[in-house]
Structures are given as structure tokens and as C-alpha cells.
Structure 1
Amino acid sequence: MGLIQRAIEQRGIRTAGISHLPNVTKKMKAPRTLYIRFPLGRTFGQAGDVTTQKEILWEAIQFAVKGEPESIVELPYR
């Protein structure tokens, strides 16, 4: 994901990814990453939990706009 993000950013479009593995993401030097402690395969939480899913998506959009390059921020969701 980090490689794709960098290619998109080179064209002037800001990105933010969501990762379960911040150590791997850090090595990839992804432009902006939100770290979430949900199980793999459940990046946006439980199926049907629309409220949490919208919150995570909104945080990702805001982070793409305001986040610092190559930063990793942990989301509070569990």
C-alpha cells in the first residue's frame, strides 16, 4: 500500500492508509498511516457497525488532508 500511496502523492494527491502492522508500514515509508488495533480483515471494525466505520473513514479523510508526511497515528478503536 505504501508504494501505491507514494506514487499517488507524486501526482499531487494526498493519501492516508490504514494499517494493522505499523512496523512494516514504517519500513515502507508510507506518506500517512492510521494504525488500528482491529483483527486483520476487520480494518473498519465489526460487520454492520456503521457508526464506527463512518468514524474511521472520516478520520482517514481528515488525516489525508492534515496529517504530516510519513507519520503513523494510532486510532483509539479496539
Structure 2
Amino acid sequence: MSANIESKKIGSAKHEGYAHGVSLLLTILAAISSLVLVFGGFWVMGHAFAQEGYEFIWFLGGILSASLGLWVAFGITPRLER
């Protein structure tokens, strides 16, 4: 019976390592995507005033993109690390 308990402990240790690797990969992907969204949103906001007649739409798109990137960075990513 004790051998059966030991094998369960060893198997769960393998699974925890795998879960940590997946969590780390998701954290890295979330960080990269949030950086792209935030700086892409800044870029869109900067170029909004060069678009005649569509300044508000471009600027709003930039604000939404930057907001989404910040939400991913500070709202979703900390939940992935649990």
C-alpha cells in the first residue's frame, strides 16, 4: 500500500512541473501580447491626427488597444500565476 502512495506522489510531481511550464509559457505570451497592444495603441493614437475625418475613431481604437493591453498585463496575467 505504501508503494502505491509513493507512486502517486511521484506522478503528481511530474504533473506539477508540466503545469508550471505551461503557466510560465502563458505568462510570457501574455506579457508579449500586452506590450504589443499597449505600444501599438500608443502608435495608433499618435497617428490618429494624420487621418483626416477619422481622428476620433483612430484615437478611440488606440485607447481601447492600450487599455486592453494594460488589462492583460495587470488583470489577467497575475491570475495565470496562481
The answer to whether TM tops 0.5 is no
- Which structure has more strand as a fraction of its residues? 1
TM-score by length of 1: 0.31
- Which structure has more helix as a fraction of its residues? 2
| Structure number, greater radius of gyration | 2
TM-score by length of 2: 0.30
